[in-house]
Structure 1
Amino acid sequence: MREELIVPKCHYPWPTVNSPIANAFDDEEKDWYDSDYTFISEEGIKRCKPQFLSRVATYMNPTCDSIERMRPCARLMIYITLFDDFFGLTPRNELKIMADRVYEIMMGDEPSPGEIGILRQMAQARKEWIVNGMPRFWIERVSKNFYEFIMYGMAEEIPFKQAEKRTYPLLPHYLSFRKYSIGMWPYGDLIDPCVNFALPVHIYNHPVVQRCRELLSLIIVIQNDFASLKKELEIEAECLNIIFILSHQYNLSYQDACTEAMKLHDAYANELDELHRSLPDFGPFQKEAYNHIYHIKLQISGCANWYYNSGTNRYEPKGFIVPKYGREGDEIFIPHSIFVKK
């Protein structure tokens, strides 16, 4: 008889803030799917619509009450997620071609009529950010971070996803590429348009700010691995989850691996909280730097709020689209009784 697994729930030493426009793009995103995501199968689009991916943007940036400033952020939340879903099994050389083209589009090139529709969403988001006053250096920042999401993150996962038998990375190796593939470097960039202030380059590049951004990624990696564990436990070849890696590397039960993962998660959250309370002197930009790190924290608690309270079905059976080079019919059945949240 299968032993019950208690999947822990993430909590943070700072508040969760609710967005005043949390569900504002529910109808618009359906139109985006129908117009620009036609490279996904009809069944795949049906799977996407109940995921409420646009709500990730509003839940993670909950102080923004501007539909205009939030709209391109909602676009990015959808196109980065579905880019990962669709191209997650794509060979590295083909992925590099896509990464180069994504960078060109995000920096100002226009997609041709015959190109994949997701590029039109990227171009439109870039235009909307410019209209809303985002400077060139910020456009360069989010474009570079999106490129690194693909090449330092997704591309580094491919050998494990394509291995003939399950192969586990060591934990430091996993975190080194997963902190990029989770997408939080460009997600974190969305703080700036949402608060209507682009953090200056010299403040953004400061090691303390960069560490806070890295902690955003690492915390969300673990948060996401807890959220997706329900699905991934039943996938025979799945190895890219911190629970599986801790279990394999240290010979732990899945329950003990959950405990160890949560310890690491909480240590990262406490480090972020302490860094926020002891920022260095940023001169005339002290208030803006403090506010930026505050919003990093809100992104983390907001993402957890989306997992637990948005109504998304993303982590249910048949929640994901079938990726390019993937196979239809790989859906799994998960006995609900083995997953009980504390």
Structure 2
Amino acid sequence: MELTTNGRQSGSAVAAPAHELDGQPSAQNGSAEELGVLGEVHNIVIPPIPCSFPWRNHPDYKALTEMSDAWVLAHFTNLPGADGRPSSFAAEHMIKSAFHMQATLPFADGISERMPPIIKMMDWYFMIDNILDDPSEMGADPERADKVVDSVLTVFRDTYVHPSPSSSPLVRILTDTAAEWWAEMCQGMPPKQKARLSKAFCDYLEANRLQVPYRNSRQLPDLETYLQVREDSIGWWPCAVLIEHCQGFELDDEALSHPLLIELQKNTVQHIFMTNDITSFKKEYMQGDFCNIVSLLYFRKLYDPKGDPQTPAPTLQGAVSEAIEMIRERDENAVRLMQQIRNCKELINKPGVEQYLQGLGLWMSGTIYWHLVSGRYGICATTDLHQTPPDMLVPHQLNIDVNKEAARTLPNGVMMSAAC
């Protein structure tokens, strides 16, 4: 069901050919409103992202960087795209984007010998995330996405056969590399911890499978549904288990089921995925992907049948500001909940709880750091990934060029579910 605005043009407000992004309208261009929205996309500024937790990097990050680069070059060089064309996110792109920093920043106190498989996992994570997100790969093709998900699930369900029997080189590489780091990671891992890790990976893959139909149909879910799906599709829950594994402790069932810790985890994962949604919005928009908190907040207002036609039309920058306030709320909640946990003797005295709290804080700050410095989303807030820290307290302009693999034409409309 497509929802229309009161007195506003629905659908066409998001339509604009990708080749118009140089600012020169073509003969095929649409209304001034279309170009205005496209201009908004290019001029978005990200306000400082609220985070009360300091960042730090792993003391062995240089050695881990070298290890990561070598592994990526050995496994992903000339990786084929989903349709046989050269992939836009093969080895050189992965190295430049420094995906491994998403392991050295949040797992800054990890036991060194346990870090290599975690680094490999993070490199792999971004590879499959790209493939399942990008509409030019499998992000808008449920059938091909199913084949990837079903194959990789065999690794985490202990039904994997070496080598993967898939006829697709892409699926084989993704499955076989997953099996490699999974086997290394699970050595010596307590059975309950491994079971939680396995479930978290399966939930991540299934959540990404759910997102493909939304992307393919241009239909966005209501906000509550999106938040629920995104909590799993961001892929953070396996990383939460690795906070324990990388430091050599295991939270007991009582700690894991405590309402305070559960609420803290929920605020943490939402802080993380909203940070990702804000910083990745422009790149995703240029690929024709609207499964994003900024898009959702914007289109909910644009297509609100109860909206007052006399009020100013919503803006994308306004949606970014609204998402920032949602992050601020999660940050404040995290600070409050950590204090409550530290004041709860029955919980804070359990082995590993204090280290776990520190790990959650590092995940929030480390996520912001990496998004600002890696260049993946075009912010480039520092000239050196490791030596010059970004200023997290100043606004940042998304100053990226058109994604080289972006669809040539953006969608002509976005659908919202009737529940919005």
Q: TM-score, normalised by structure 2?
A: 0.68
From 117, 120, 123, give the equivalent of 2:179.
123
- The alignment status of 1:56 with 2:102, answered yes or no, reads yes
Q: Distance in 2 between matches of 1:234 and 1:93?
A: 23
Would you say the 8 A contact 1:47–1:319 is kept in 2? Answer: no
- The alignment status of 1:160 with 2:214, answered yes or no, reads yes
From 133, 147, 164, give the equivalent of 2:202.
147
From the two aligned structures, give the one with the greater helix fraction: 1
Q: What per-residue deviation string (whole Å, max 9, x for no partner) do you get for residues 78-119 of structure 1?
A: 222211212342755665564454344235455422441233
Q: In the superposition, relative to structure 1, how do residues 14 and 30 fare at CA in structure 2: closer, same or farther (>3 Å)?
A: closer
| 1:272 aligned residue | 334
Query: Which letter does structure 1 place at the counterpart of 2:53?
Result: W
| 2:45 aligned residue | 6
Q: What per-residue deviation string (whole Å, max 9, x for no partner) do you get for residues 200-252 of structure 1?
A: 233223332222222221111110012112323434x3211211211121242
Q: Distance in 2 between matches of 1:5 and 1:94?
A: 33
1:1-342 equivalence runs, <5 A: 2=39, 4-37=43-76, 38-40=79-81, 41=86, 43-45=88-90, 46-64=92-110, 66-88=111-133, 89=139, 91-92=141-142, 95=145, 98-106=148-156, 108-115=158-165, 116-131=172-187, 133-151=188-206, 153-163=207-217, 166-235=218-287, 237-251=288-302, 252-279=314-341, 280-282=344-346, 285-309=349-373, 312-316=374-378, 330=407
Structure 1 stretches of 5 or more lacking a match? 323-327, 333-342
Moved more, 114-123 or 292-301: 114-123
Would you say the 8 A contact 2:338–2:357 is kept in 1? Answer: yes
Structure 2 stretches of 5 or more lacking a match? 1-35, 134-138, 166-171, 303-313, 379-399, 410-420
Q: In the superposition, relative to structure 1, how do residues 7 and 90 fare at CA in structure 2: closer, same or farther (>3 Å)?
A: closer
Q: TM-score, normalised by structure 1?
A: 0.82
Would you say the 8 A contact 1:36–1:118 is kept in 2? Answer: no
**3-state DSSP of counterpart to 1:113:** coil
Q: In the superposition, relative to structure 1, how do residues 112 and 130 fare at CA in structure 2: closer, same or farther (>3 Å)?
A: closer
Query: Which letter does structure 2 place at the counterpart of 1:299?
Result: W
Would you say the 8 A contact 1:107–1:139 is kept in 2? Answer: no
Shift in Å, 1:255: 1.8
**3-state DSSP of counterpart to 1:61:** coil
CA-based RMSD: 2.8
Q: Distance in 2 between matches of 1:55 and 1:20?
A: 12
Shift in Å, 1:56: 0.8
Same amino acid, percent of matched pairs? 21
**3-state DSSP of counterpart to 1:71:** helix
Would you say the 8 A contact 1:199–1:288 is kept in 2? Answer: yes
Q: Which structure has the larger Rg over C-alpha atoms?
A: 2
Shift in Å, 1:28: 2.7
Q: What per-residue deviation string (whole Å, max 9, x for no partner) do you get for residues 295-325 of structure 1?
A: 111111011111123xx232246898x9xxx
Q: In the superposition, relative to structure 1, how do residues 174 and 14 fare at CA in structure 2: closer, same or farther (>3 Å)?
A: same
Shift in Å, 1:58: 0.5
Q: What per-residue deviation string (whole Å, max 9, x for no partner) do you get for residues 170-210 of structure 1?
A: 22121111111111111222201222212223322333222
Q: Distance in 2 between matches of 1:108 and 1:29?
A: 25
Shift in Å, 1:270: 1.0
